[in-house]
Structures are given as structure tokens and as C-alpha cells.
Amino acid sequence: DYPRWPSLARESILNVPMDLRSIKLSIDGKVIDYSEEIDSVVITGMGGSGVVGDIINDLCWFWDCRVPIIVSKNMRLPKRLSRPLVIAISYSGNTAETIMSANEALSRGYPVIGVTTGGKLSTVLTNKGAPVVLIPKASAPRYGLPALLYPTLIILERFGVASVINELESGISGIEDALKRVDDAINLAKQLVNSVPVVWVTESRRGVGIRFKNDLNENAKYYSVVSVVPEGAHNDIAAVTTKQGGLKHVAIMGPNDYEGMYEEVLIDVLSSFGAKPIIVKLEGKTPLETEMYGVTYLGMVTLALAELLGVEPVSTEPIDRLKNLLS
Ligand code: F6R
């Protein structure tokens, strides 16, 4: 799927309905008017779909996002919401938590937009008149990331939350640059064999760190932890002094933002306690380019690791079993 990511990104945005802001629904006597001003965006979804929220949250550390983005990975919505737009993302459309959140949003009178390949989420929303962006398929939810992310960015543009249009192509360049780094990805994967990777990221790259951890879990069937600094520099880092076997520290560093400061101090402290961190520099001229480079490159690392370990990367049986029990 990875070589298809640039075209997946481009194709998926064609399916965002033009008339999103003119939709008006009446559900249980409540009118839901999509043209009204919103004061927050809730992005709800799980796993490979939910990470879209984390990525957009990262981007809003750089972009001028007009309202707060609330990332919800739960079957409920926070109580405190006033006038949110709810974007319910589920690749399969059959994830119980996301369907429950979307239903709760509609029953509370909030505008909801689904992003999915179909499934029950599409049926539930369409039956109530709520819009659904139908996206192209991939081999598994996580391999369809650009098809989940790009329409969501367009939705944010349509609701005046962020100006994304001029950056979309740079994100695709980020994917293409990463795709050229196969040898580097294999080298990094080799260094991770027989380890529990500790992924260090800064707050504004949290999504890249979470995605890397999730891909390690799902592609390589590997445990991993994410430490987000500055906070992780006030707790996780204390554990570097232990002789706990198998930990391998990976520090992911973005360009031109305040990570520069953390780059030096974090590496310095980890190294002075004998950790020998592996440094991964993210490349890109725009926030989206950097983010897409990071998620693509690190995803390739996890596929290379799966291959080195002789692990089948696509299937995730324990996830499937749990989802079947929930549905
Ligand atoms: C599997 C994967 C999972 C799913 C998650 C939610 O590839 O990435 O993390 O994304 O179980 O399922 P969907 O995305 O279908 O809502």
C-alpha cells in the first residue's frame, strides 16, 4: 500500500461532499445546522483511524487552528462540549467505540461527519441524513492513513478551522521522500531487533510517536512505549538509570521548532546514563510534509522489522477478536 499513498491522498479528497455546510437535519426534535459556527472539533476514532486526530493535533502546534481540536479515543464524548463539529473516523466503519460516539453526538444535537469505507457507521449516519465521506480501500485500516487524513483536512478547511489547501501537496512530497529511504528504514529496523523501543518525541510530534508505536505493535507485533517531552523529561527519563534489559531509545526530532532545544539536552542526558539513543531526524519544509515524512518512514521501519523477525505484518488477530466481542 505504501507506494499507493500519494494517489490515495489525492483520490480520497475528491469524495468530500461540496455542500457540507448547507446540511440541516432534524433528529428527535433537535435541528442540527451544519452552517452554524463551531467552537471546537472532536475527532473521534480508534487505532489506525484515531491517529488522524493525533496528527491534526500535532499540525495545530504549527498552524493557526481557529478552534481547539479534541482527540477522543473512546465510546463516549466529553460532557463539556458546547458547539462542536464531530468527525467520526473509522476505516472499516464497524468499530463499536466510534459508532457509539457518533450516535451520542447526533443525539446531543452536534453536527457529525463520518470518514469511512462504509460499514455500520456509514449506514447509521446516512440513515439519519448525516454526511459520510467514503474513502478508497487499503489492505488494513493503518495502510489507508492518507485516505483517512486528507479528507479530514479538507473538512477542517470547509469549516474554516485551518487553511490546509496550500500544504496538501507538500504532505505528498513528504510521503514520496520517505518512500526513497528503504535502505535507511531497514538499517534502523536492524537496530531494533531484540529490543523494546522507547520512542521519544516532543509534544508537537506526539502523533508521529504514537503512530510509530502503533505500527510497531501491529506490523511487527512488538511492544513499545512513547515518551512525550517536555513531560517525559520529568518522569520517564528517570528510568534510564535502571538496568532493565532490552530497552532501545529512539529519539525523533523535528526540524526548525523548539525540539532543537530538546535535541541537545535529551540526547545528552540519555547518553550520559549509557542509553545510546538512535536519532531519527524528520525532514520537511512544511508541518504536513514533516509529519507525513515521519509517519511514512517510521511505518516502513516497522514493516522492515516484521520482515527481519519473520512476522506476518498485516493480520492483527487479537484486535479482531476483541472487536468481534464488542460488536
Ligand atoms: C488495523 C488497525 C487498527 C484499527 C482499529 C480501528 O489495521 O490499524 O488499529 O484501525 O482497530 O478500526 P477502524 O479503523 O476500522 O475503525
Question: How far are the Cα atoms of 209, 234, 246 from residue 77, in angstroms, in the given order?
Answer: 24, 30, 38
Cβ distance 142 to 215 under 8 Å?
Answer: yes
Which residue range forms the structural domain that includes residue 102?
A: 2-163
User: Ligand 1, residues 1, 43, 44, 46: which to mutate, most atoms within 8 A of Cβ?
Assistant: 46
Counting from 1 in the atom list of ligand 1, the atom nearest the Cα of 47 is 9
Judgement on whether residues 42 and 92 belong to the same structural domain of the protein:
yes
Grid cell for residue 101: 460516539
> What pLDDT score does 238 carry?
96
> What pLDDT score does 327 carry?
84
The verdict on the CB of residue 48 being under 6 Å from ligand 1 is yes
Judgement on whether residues 127 and 237 belong to the same structural domain of the protein:
no
CA of 257 to the centre of ligand 1 (A): 31
> What pLDDT score does 259 carry?
63
Average model confidence (pLDDT) for the chain? 95
In the Cβ-directed half-sphere of 1, how many Cα atoms lie within 13 Å? 20
The verdict on the CB of residue 120 being under 6 Å from ligand 1 is no
Judgement on whether residues 135 and 185 belong to the same structural domain of the protein:
no
Judgement on whether residues 134 and 222 belong to the same structural domain of the protein:
no
For 106, the 3-state DSSP assignment is helix
> What pLDDT score does 243 carry?
81
Judgement on whether residues 183 and 141 belong to the same structural domain of the protein:
no
CA of 62 to the centre of ligand 1 (A): 27
Residue 320 belongs to a domain? no
Dist CA 314 CA 306 (whole Å)? 10
Whether the per-residue pLDDT at 261 is higher than 80: the answer is no
Residue 145 belongs to a domain? yes
Q: What is the ipTM of this complex?
A: 0.98
> What pLDDT score does 324 carry?
92
Counting from 1 in the atom list of ligand 1, the atom nearest the Cα of 46 is 6
CA of 211 to the centre of ligand 1 (A): 12
What CATH number does residue 108 fall under? Answer: 3.40.50.10490
CA of 317 to the centre of ligand 1 (A): 12
Atom 5 (ligand 1): residue with closest C-alpha?
Answer: 47
Helices (H), 180-249: 182-192, 206-220
The verdict on the CB of residue 219 being under 6 Å from ligand 1 is no
Whether the per-residue pLDDT at 256 is higher than 70: the answer is no
Dist CA 105 CA 91 (whole Å)? 19
Whether the per-residue pLDDT at 216 is higher than 80: the answer is yes
Whether the per-residue pLDDT at 136 is higher than 80: the answer is yes
Judgement on whether residues 56 and 78 belong to the same structural domain of the protein:
yes
Residue 324 belongs to a domain? no
CA of 47 to the centre of ligand 1 (A): 5
Judgement on whether residues 216 and 238 belong to the same structural domain of the protein:
yes
* Total domain count, the chain: 2
Handedness of CA 44, 46, 49, 52 (dihedral sign): positive
> What pLDDT score does 258 carry?
65
Q: Average pLDDT of 284-309?
A: 98
Cβ distance 96 to 322 under 8 Å?
Answer: no
Judgement on whether residues 213 and 113 belong to the same structural domain of the protein:
no
Judgement on whether residues 152 and 197 belong to the same structural domain of the protein:
no
